[in-house]
Amino acid sequence: MAEVQGSSAYERILVAVDGSEHAQRALEHAVQLAKGLQIAPRLTVLHVNPVMMVAEPPLGVDVDERLDEEGHAMTEPYRTYLDTTGVQYEVRYHTGDPATVICDTANEEQMDLIIMGTRGKSAVSELFLGSVSHKVIQHAHCPVMTVK
């Protein structure tokens, strides 16, 4: 592995997750990589809720609060897993175009590596996530590792 000024080239790793088996495997690979590096990197686990076009939300529904609840619920299993690993991490969730949010976050946070699964939870999301991973590979400023 390449060294940068005496430290690991992978100090900041972004792991994109969506609740799928492939996302879990991507996270497990990120943990294995983190444990194998000389300097413990920071893992940022990111879940992106795709934007849904809704003309007007139902009365009495706080959309931001609902999205926050869903993001927390989606990422809770990842927190539970990571708490057992000893790896430094933080979890985030956002709403937007997944590929754009992943690339923007990686760029803004100066991530050294993005790790993500190649497929989603269902046939439809596999198609969608496949296109997300393809877009991320094409537009990310840093290396991207995809995990089957």
Give the pLDDT score at 9.
82
Q: Does 2 map to a domain?
A: no
Spatial distance between the Cα atoms of 33 and 89, rounded to a whole number of angstroms = 13
Amino acid at 11: E
pLDDT band with cut points at 50, 70 and 90 for residue 1: very low
Domains in the chain: how many in total? 1
| CA triple 64-79-115, angle to 5 deg | 90
CATH of the domain at 21: 3.40.50.620
Q: Which residue has the higher pLDDT, 71 or 103?
A: 103
Q: Does 137 map to a domain?
A: yes
2 pLDDT higher than 50: no
Host domain of residue 114: 7-51+60-147
Q: 121: which 2 tokens?
A: 């939870």
Pairing of strands 144-147, 113-117: parallel
Amino acid at 68: D
The backbone region for 96, taken as left when phi is positive above 0, alpha when psi lies in -120 to 50, beta otherwise, is: left
Q: Does 40 map to a domain?
A: yes
Q: Does 1 map to a domain?
A: no
Give the pLDDT score at 6.
40
pLDDT in tens, 52-97: 655 555 665 676 788 888 889 999 999 999 999 999 999 999 989 9
Q: Which residues contact 72 (CB under 8 A, 6 or more apart)?
A: 93
What does pTM read for this prediction? 0.83
Average pLDDT over residues 7-30: 90
Residues 88, 43: contact at Cβ < 8 Å?
yes
pLDDT in tens, 106-143: 999 999 999 999 866 555 555 555 688 889 999 999 99
